[in-house]
Structure 1
């Protein structure tokens, strides 16, 4: 077993959101020399249960192992069935565990993406995210699945017109008055989190929770009991309209001319994302 390969995978697993707890199991499975293996990870987000199965495969040409994908099952509190999705690990566009949970919870995540380009490896052609980078909001359509039984993910490109910072400035949120608090709030919402904030209405403070809603170019609001709420009568009518407006336009990610065909190749031929040792762990 190559120690360099192990360290690489340890970092990759950690920065995808699975922490350090899988290191021993990862080492043991790599030492066995088996062709492929799986690791299990369980955690909770609030009262929601999340279970993940991480898939690793050995190269057919070398003794290196690759982290190809993980299957995530999220069981919301009080629900009988779990929602499931497979997230592939490649060169780019990787979804962390927390981001995967947020997507399966119906929230939107902002990611830096890469245009898909057609590549050839050992005579087989497939689409790989290796092209020019762009920023887009991702939202899972929990009513529509693809041929692989995964929920389809819609993209709302930057040209769609949703500006999170400008949208937040329309709301009487106390945290926006402090530069550091504002930055932390924006970064949290971009990861798909439902974030606690303080609304100041008619001089009174009120705790609410908000999440980004790029599809409707607004934010969703919840009271302290996590019940959906809206604007108070003291807030502008234009903001009330923003909450109610319907946006049906689907913005697709730009692709190169060579990437118009759908790839049918297996994920097992993918190479893993480059681990960034200086990158902060996603929470």
Structure 2
């Protein structure tokens, strides 16, 4: 095993923002020198867990490995509690009293595996098969039961996207987790096909047909061409934390990563309200949500003197100024 390569990969996954367990699992996966191996990771999401699968490929000319892509899936499945796991139980032809059990770190993978079963099977959650909660079941390959609290997660497919990396550069884990949750992130290290650097806000385009590899296309809002100014947009709202330069900087940094940030906003009655805010560069606005994820009317938090100006700015851009398609650009 190439120890320099191991050290480099540990730094790479750390710089990309993956959880420490990814770096911890690298050595044991590299030791047997397989041609390819994967490591799983998870991030919390607003609607459920965000699963990540990192792909490491061995060079054909040496014993070094590269992380060239990772797959991300965001569903509506809540994370498991401690000591519980998702499992699929299938019929054991050799012993009908003892079903075959396969466990999963990823609830989204468990659902996908269960849906492919042709015979009698169960999708369950629990510490063991003996203390399981049945979430769904099949008889002769057809669903005959879906837990009512699990139906939304089961019938609404997870949003999936593959993110590609080159020399450790690309969308980081935090950005990717936000993008599959329909949020926009800022990249200042992008390159055109001709090798020219540029900056842009980027989101996944869920309105267009996927590409030939099953990925959502990217929608870009170039900076400064498109005209979205995060600081000016923030200043158009009555947000208490903006009075503190350090907190304002933290909020801006988090929003560039695509985070939904908790802030204290003042409504029309000048009462403080704790809300979650996220940047929406497409319309030069912020969106606000309560603790339950329900969208709030942004107008109640706008500064009176800027209200009309900010509305006009968002409407004036519209779709006609969405220069993000820009042919010749890549991410």
Common fold, TM-score beyond 0.5?
Answer: yes
- Whether the 8 Å contact between 1:50 and 1:72 is mirrored in structure 2 is yes
2: CA distance, partners of 1:91 / 1:73: 23
Out of 213-222 and 108-117, give the one that drifted further. 108-117
Residue 37 (structure 1) shift: 1.5
Of residues 318, 326, 329 in structure 2, which corresponds to 1:247?
318
- Whether the 8 Å contact between 2:262 and 2:275 is mirrored in structure 1 is yes
User: Deviation digits for residues 16-54 of structure 1, max 9, x if unmatched?
Assistant: 222221345321222212211112223433552121111
Residues 43/117 of structure 1: CA separation in 2 closer, same or farther (3 Å cut)? closer
Residue 116 (structure 1) shift: 3.1
- Whether the 8 Å contact between 1:216 and 1:245 is mirrored in structure 2 is no
1: CA distance, partners of 2:228 / 2:234: 11
Out of 93-102 and 38-47, give the one that drifted further. 38-47
Of residues 213, 220, 230 in structure 1, which corresponds to 2:287?
220
2: CA distance, partners of 1:243 / 1:250: 12
Instruction: Compare CA radii of gyration and give the structure with the larger one.
Output: 2
User: Deviation digits for residues 243-282 of structure 1, max 9, x if unmatched?
Assistant: 6666213324878xxxx599xxxxxxxxxxxxxxxxxxxx
Out of 106-115 and 246-255, give the one that drifted further. 246-255
User: Deviation digits for residues 76-117 of structure 1, max 9, x if unmatched?
Assistant: 355332110001111365112221111011110001133234
2: CA distance, partners of 1:194 / 1:35: 39
- Structure possessing the higher relative contact order (Cα contacts under 8 Å, 6 or more residues apart): 1
Of residues 211, 219, 231 in structure 2, which corresponds to 1:146?
211
Q: Over aligned residues, Cα RMSD in angstroms?
A: 2.5
1: CA distance, partners of 2:170 / 2:184: 15
2:153 aligned residue: 79
- Whether the 8 Å contact between 2:237 and 2:303 is mirrored in structure 1 is no
- Whether the 8 Å contact between 1:218 and 1:242 is mirrored in structure 2 is no
1: CA distance, partners of 2:276 / 2:37: 40
2: CA distance, partners of 1:61 / 1:95: 27
- TM-score, normalised to structure 2, is 0.68
More strand by percentage? 1
2: CA distance, partners of 1:27 / 1:212: 39
2: CA distance, partners of 1:4 / 1:83: 36
Residues 91/250 of structure 1: CA separation in 2 closer, same or farther (3 Å cut)? farther
- For structure 1, list consecutive stretches of 5 or more residues without a partner in the other structure: 119-130, 263-283
Q: How does 1:111-122 map to 2 (within 5 A)?
A: 111-117=187-193
- Whether the 8 Å contact between 1:143 and 1:151 is mirrored in structure 2 is no
- For structure 2, list consecutive stretches of 5 or more residues without a partner in the other structure: 78-151
Residues 37/225 of structure 1: CA separation in 2 closer, same or farther (3 Å cut)? closer
2: CA distance, partners of 1:92 / 1:66: 9
- Whether the 8 Å contact between 2:219 and 2:325 is mirrored in structure 1 is no
- TM-score, normalised to structure 1, is 0.78
